[in-house]
């Protein structure tokens, strides 16, 4: 599958001295150069209105002959309002950076989401400085008798219609979702229905995506985050992607860690709903458990899916597209179930994803995929590596040896040298070297 690069006017990904990443973007009639530091996460814009940008032009020369527009930084400290800063950044325009400093940030009122990005926020970067926790929980407000206590929002972060890959969230711990569910609108509706009648909210809009919900024509960049200990009352304990076939690109999930996310249905860590798309690179999935309430879901909502063996940490629905590269799945209840076509799984580790509780009649598995033509360079080990027998054993290892994981679940075994997840520090170094 060829990756689309939305709003691109020239080839992207060139590198200059100092570890800067250059991409060209089109905004109206002007062309701009996004000049992004891979080491410190600073983004600048350079106008290319009067600068040639033909194939073969030198981006560094374009920078030298152009005027920098310094990024606008908005700082938020513990006790302050992140959403208010995001709304101010939206007025600044694309490239504004909201820097959230060390601390724990929680919603101050019950609602559908703690933080929300809509079309007006496109191009805004939300960036953690130090250890920053975004949580769905607020014990001072939550109903202590509710099963969802202490959570008071459906989603910690919401990305709505009109978000492109210029919008990103970087470096946070996202946690605390606990199957809270409300359909009541807050001060600002998550998704103005008037934008497109095809985006009318329905059950999955409210109930899926404990840490992050991606909805409509929304393709954010989610990178360097730890998505830990979230649950929902339906599906997508970590991230739910619901493009409804309207997306113009893919949600990008990079250098993220998913640990102990849960849901009664599909996609404990990531749920890619029908006709949606995601690029998942260098991510770690550990201890994510779905399938815990499939019988209840069938009775309550009339929904049935993969009833015999259950679903994985990553669920990909029919008509959806994913690219999964250099990821590690271990200790989950099943790793991946995929009913899409032509999806890519490259250089990834699937190791003993057997955390099932015996409530499904079928055995746990590493991968359950209908179309395995895009699976290559993967190493699998477990009781049932290839549930459907669709993998090409000449391009993958189905009886892989023990990876000998370290404390960060990076493999020590030499056979895994170019396979699976690496910590963010190592991944960032590799990214700069590859540019």
Q: What is the pLDDT of residues 347-357, one digit of tens each?
A: 999 999 999 88
**CA distance linking residue 418 with residue 408, whole number of Å:** 16
Which of 159, 165, 236, 230 minimizes the C-alpha distance to 190?
159
Domains of the chain and CATH, by start:
14-68 (no CATH), 72-434 (2.160.20)
CB 211 within 8 A of CB 156: yes
Q: What is the pLDDT of residues 10-29, one digit of tens each?
A: 233 333 333 334 443 433 33
The whole-number average pLDDT for the span 41-47 is 43
pLDDT, residue 189, reads 82
Mean pLDDT of the chain: 84
Percent of the chain with pLDDT over 70: 80
Is the model's pLDDT at 94 over the cut of 70? yes
Residues 407, 322, 211: CA angle, nearest 5 degrees: 55
* Phi, psi dihedrals of residue 430, rounded to the nearest 5°: -65, -40
pLDDT, residue 96, reads 95
Instruction: Spell out a b/e string for 48-71, using b for 16 or more CB atoms within 10 Å of the CB, else e.
Output: beebeeeeeeebeebbeebeeeeb
**CA distance linking residue 370 with residue 333, whole number of Å:** 19
For residue 237, the SS3 value is: coil
Q: What is the pLDDT of residues 243-283, one digit of tens each?
A: 999 877 899 999 999 999 999 999 999 999 999 999 999 99
CB 328 within 8 A of CB 353: no
**CA distance linking residue 15 with residue 9, whole number of Å:** 17
Which positions ≥6 away from 1 have C-beta within 8 Å? 321, 323, 342, 343, 344, 374
Note the pTM of the prediction, 2 decimals: 0.82
The model's confidence at residue 242, banded by pLDDT at 50, 70 and 90, is very high
Q: What is the pLDDT of residues 277-312, one digit of tens each?
A: 999 999 999 999 998 777 777 777 777 777 778 899
For residue 352, the SS3 value is: coil
**CA distance linking residue 125 with residue 224, whole number of Å:** 13
Cβ count near 184 (within 10 Å): 8
pLDDT, residue 30, reads 36
Strands 173-175 and 226-228: parallel
């Amino acid at each position: 599958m060829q990756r689309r690069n939305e709003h691109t006017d020239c080839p992207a990904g060139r590198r200059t001295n100092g570890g800067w990443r250059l991409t060209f973007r089109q905004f109206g009639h002007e062309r701009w150069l996004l000049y992004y530091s891979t080491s410190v996460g600073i983004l600048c814009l350079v106008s290319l209105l009067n600068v040639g940008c033909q194939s073969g032009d030198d981006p560094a020369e374009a920078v030298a002959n152009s005027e920098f527009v310094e990024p606008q930084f908005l700082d938020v400290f513990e006790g302050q309002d992140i959403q208010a800063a995001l709304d101010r950044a939206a007025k600044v325009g694309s490239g504004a950076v909201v820097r959230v400093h060390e601390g724990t940030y929680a919603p101050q009122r019950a609602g559908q989401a703690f933080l929300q990005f809509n079309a007006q926020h496109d191009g805004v970067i939300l960036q953690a400085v130090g250890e920053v926790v975004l949580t769905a929980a607020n014990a001072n407000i939550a109903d202590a008798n509710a099963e969802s206590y202490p959570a008071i929002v459906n989603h910690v972060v919401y990305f709505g219609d009109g978000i492109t890959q210029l919008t990103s969230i970087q470096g946070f711990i996202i946690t605390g979702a606990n199957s809270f569910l409300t359909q009541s609108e807050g001060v600002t509706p998550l998704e103005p229905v008037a934008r497109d009648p095809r985006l009318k909210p329905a059950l999955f809009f409210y109930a899926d995506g404990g840490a992050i919900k991606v909805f409509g024509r929304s393709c954010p960049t989610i990178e360097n985050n730890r998505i830990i200990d979230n649950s929902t009352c339906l599906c997508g304990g970590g991230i739910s992607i619901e493009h409804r076939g309207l997306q113009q690109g893919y949600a990008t999930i990079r250098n993220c860690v998913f640990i102990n996310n849960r849901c009664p249905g599909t996609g404990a860590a990531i749920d890619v709903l029908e006709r949606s798309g995601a690029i998942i690179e260098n991510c770690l999935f550990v201890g994510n458990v779905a399938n815990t309430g499939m019988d209840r879901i069938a009775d309550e909502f009339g929904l049935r899916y993969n009833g015999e063996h259950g679903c994985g940490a990553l669920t990909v629905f029919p008509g959806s597209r994913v690219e999964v590269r250099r990821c590690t799945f271990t200790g989950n209840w099943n790793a991946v179930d995929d009913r899409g076509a032509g999806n890519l799984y490259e250089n990834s580790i699937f190791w003993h994803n057997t955390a099932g509780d015996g409530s499904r009649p079928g055995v746990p598995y590493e991968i359950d995929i209908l179309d395995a033509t895009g699976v290559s360079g993967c190493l699998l080990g477990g009781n049932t590596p290839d549930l459907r027998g669709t993998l090409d054993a000449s391009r993958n290892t189905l009886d892989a040896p023990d990876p000998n994981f370290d404390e960060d679940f990076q493999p020590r075994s030499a056979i895994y040298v170019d396979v699976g997840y690496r910590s963010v520090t190592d991944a960032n170094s590799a990214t700069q070297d590859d540019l």
